[in-house]
């Protein structure tokens, strides 16, 4: 990264080519600015940002496969992010996840320059955004997550929530088991729990959250305990509080 006094390197991320072209034309006319690259979607952006280490990402919000909020969660937190979108309803959520600025299309070059000035002052400072805020920002208000984005080095996996069998909390990480594979994501189990439909995912133990679609049976474990047996044969402990929650949800299903 170049720092506040040098040339500002910028990554453009937008799924529409005309929008990328317009941004590049504006940036090419500005001093002390260099376009590090362009990406047409969030997956491309994450890989390109890892290789180029830009100072700033100009990030569209609504994109296929992975939206701007999900993409932000996978970027180096030292990168300053400016959201660029045609929809003003995302503005509040953008600032809740510590975006530098929010540009509403169409905007003049002067407005872009103003945003880059703010970004320059933020370069290198770690963006403090927790996973819960990002997860909430990535979906419409009052709805639950339908996918979970996980980064493993240069690899990015987009997991449909319906395929997640269970999650295990490990301090500030969760292990997500889906499709016979294990995925590690930096997020607390509690913040993951609040993002998921409580009629489908139940916290059966302080360390385990299960998808009822993959719950095969509940059976005794020891003298007065229970365990959950999942569809793949994995056995998970059920706490007393977890058993109460589980029974309430199952009873509610009739």
pLDDT of residue 86: 83
3-state secondary structure string, 120-148? HHHCCCCCCCCHHHHHHHCCCCCCCCCEE
What pLDDT digit, counting tens, does each position of 110-132 carry? 999 999 999 998 887 876 655 55
User: What gap in Å lies between CA 38 and CA 21, rounded to an integer?
Assistant: 9
- In this prediction, the residues of the chain whose per-residue pLDDT falls under 70 are 1-5, 89-97, 127-141, 154, 254
Token pair belonging to 222 = 């020891």
Using alpha carbons only, give the angle 191, 192, 197 rounded to the nearest 5 degrees: 115
User: What gap in Å lies between CA 142 and CA 123, rounded to an integer?
Assistant: 34
Q: What's the pTM?
A: 0.70
What CA–CA distances, in Å, run from 164 to 29, 146, 147, 224? 47, 10, 9, 29
Q: Which domains does the chain show, CATH number per domain?
A: 8-135 (3.40.50.2300), 144-252 (2.40.50.1020)
Please give the helix or strand (H or E) that residue 237 lies within, else none. Answer: strand 235-238
Looking at the DSSP assignment, which residues form a beta bridge with residue 104?
A: 85
| Dihedral angle computed from the Cα positions of residues 173, 179, 238 and 147, in that order, rounded to the nearest 10 degrees | 60
pLDDT of residue 6: 82
């Amino acid at each position: 990264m170049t720092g506040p006094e040098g040339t500002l390197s910028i990554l453009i991320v937008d799924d529409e080519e005309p929008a990328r072209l317009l941004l590049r034309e504006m940036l090419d006319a500005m001093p002390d600015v260099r376009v590090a690259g362009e990406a047409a979607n969030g997956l491309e952006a994450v890989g390109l940002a890892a290789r180029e280490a830009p100072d700033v990402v100009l990030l569209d919000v609504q994109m296929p496969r992975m939206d701007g909020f999900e993409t932000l969660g996978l970027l180096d937190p030292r990168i300053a992010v400016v959201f660029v979108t045609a929809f003003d309803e995302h503005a509040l959520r953008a600032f809740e996840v510590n975006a530098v600025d929010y540009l509403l299309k169409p905007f003049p070059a002067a407005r872009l320059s103003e945003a880059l000035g703010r970004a320059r002052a933020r370069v290198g400072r770690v963006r403090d955004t927790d996973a819960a805020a990002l997860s909430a920002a990535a979906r419409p208000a009052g709805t639950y997550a339908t996918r979970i984005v996980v980064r493993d080095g240069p690899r990015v996996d987009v997991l449909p929530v319906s395929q997640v069998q269970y999650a295990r909390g490990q301090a500030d990480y969760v292990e997500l088991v889906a499709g016979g594979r294990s995925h590690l994501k930096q997020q607390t189990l509690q913040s993951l729990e609040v993002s998921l439909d409580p009629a489908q995912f139940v916290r059966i133990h302080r360390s385990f959250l299960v998808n009822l679609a993959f719950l095969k049976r509940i059976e005794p474990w020891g003298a007065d305990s229970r365990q959950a047996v999942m569809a793949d044969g994995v056995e998970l402990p059920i706490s007393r509080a977890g058993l109460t929650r589980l029974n309430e949800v199952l009873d509610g299903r009739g």
